[in-house]
Structure 1
Amino acid sequence: MKTLFLKSPSANSRIIFFVLVSIILMFVDHRQDHLKVVRELLSTLVYPVQLAVNLPIKLVRDLSESLISRRTLMAENARLKEQADLLNTRLQRFDVIEAENRRLRALLGSTNRVSDRFLAAELLAVELEPFRQLIEINKGKRDGVFEGQPVVDSGGIIGQVVHMGQFSSKVLLITDPSHAVPVQIDRNGLRAIAIGTGRNDALLLEHLPSNADVKQGDLVVSSGLGHKFPRGYPVGTISEISFEPGDSFAKVTLTPSARLAQNREVLLLWPSGGEDAMEADRQEVSEE
């Protein structure tokens, strides 16, 4: 009896068949490139699948690189900010030092006018009341400071020492209402007395006749009379001149040359010959 169905080829036979077919196709394609169109078609069809498979990997890689770059940039930004803050702090410090050097150079330059001996001092306290104008400085008896000693800054006369401790002293400003400085007009030598007003921006000139030769802008300097202050040191500049009817004297207002409300450093002066010479002058005036 004949079988109704033929036996199917074995698995080994099928494998051998497909291998042979593949080899033949590869050989033919290599020689004549007949399968180029098929390859391109398969490549086009497979590309979206490859893209879909590679997309998560690419996203993970890009995200990782982005996070690394962000951390790197943040660290670099923090480092640069810290460096900028440090440089800015140093620059500010340099500005402060430069300003301080300018003040000290101006202060030291002012001593060329009068004295070969001086002592720099710093302010400890300021008392600028209408009826009392004082400053306290960080030099005292141990530094050789004496009562009545002239005190100046780079602009002009500030005042004179009225009280000394061992380590500090108090200076009465020329703007104090009780203070008076013998002065003269630098332009013509006309003498007067500069009186404090209780304001740090104004002095008054007394004993100037109403017909006196004075002008706004005239420089007023110490005359040296009374041996209170060295001669020729700036006191102020005439800022206003007025006349009262029937009054034989002019009312003249000065703007102080010294920076009374802005000082940090001042100079204590010893007249030529030192304190002994000043004391001798005082005694001579008293005897007269």
Structure 2
Amino acid sequence: MNRLKKFLKGRPLRWVFWHPHQGLWNWDLVRIVSKVLPIDLIRKFIIGSIIFLDTSVLWIRAFARRIRKLGLASLFIKEKLPTNIPILYLDVGTHKEAKELSLMVNKILPRFSNNFQAYGFEASKELFNFAKEKFKNKKNITLIQAALCQTPPKDGKICLYKDSREGFANSLFREQYSEHEYVKALRLSDWLKEEDIKLSRKISLLRMNIEGAEYDVVLDLVNNGVAKHIDGYYGMWDDVSKNSVELDKKFRTFLRNNGVFPFTFNGRDFVSCLRLKCIEYDISTTIRDGFRRLLLNGSHLNFEND
């Protein structure tokens, strides 16, 4: 039992069976299975089964979200959308591969609109340069090297602590990392104002994977009246729980009280085509719900049909 407590590092035992962010397919359960099942074939089968079950639960959640937002009939009837609906996609924490951003701008968003704009934020200069090269010929994608936070320092720079795993765990909070760099700090609500981006006239999607800074960003959006204009939030947002279980409890309560319910969309989801289809399905729900909002708000945009 003591070994298990040491392994969990203060995380509740119940999280092994259902993590509040990662679900059934969580890293603690996977590590335990990997340790107790030395036979490779059996281990892969068990972990694969865990992923399948977790994905099934994810689909149930996606169906429930669609019914709640669009009604029961939306499960069977696909509403035809105009081809020029304005969509804004913000991808915060692109990393060098920018897999999520790439999937969105190359496959998912073009299926719904020819009028979308995507912005990718990456704090690390090295990772930013990799991502920038990947999208250098894309006109509707803008990459920004900056770290998003709630209160930028007076000099506009913030310390980014860098890990040794190709930057996968770069963070504003993990001071135990010996390597660091100072990067531009932005508050997302300020940036939206400076860019004159009016979320009320767009369908807005926000995905984040920024190693615990998600809390700061959502605090900023809520406190400055921006959160209510974002139609869909995406990402696992589990990194706050890695830094502090108590802080994560406050984070989840804050999200719930402000009606922010993120849907997973991270690098690990790419191991399963079924998960990616589920994520696309939920994004479709968000876009359709956002389109209804534009119409209800009396938007003066001119929409075109196929």
Pair in the same fold by TM > 0.5: no
Higher relative contact order (CA 8 A, sep 6+): 2
* Larger fraction in helix: 2
* Larger fraction in strand: 1
- With normalisation by structure 1, the TM-score equals 0.25
Q: Which has the larger radius of gyration?
A: 1
- With normalisation by structure 2, the TM-score equals 0.24
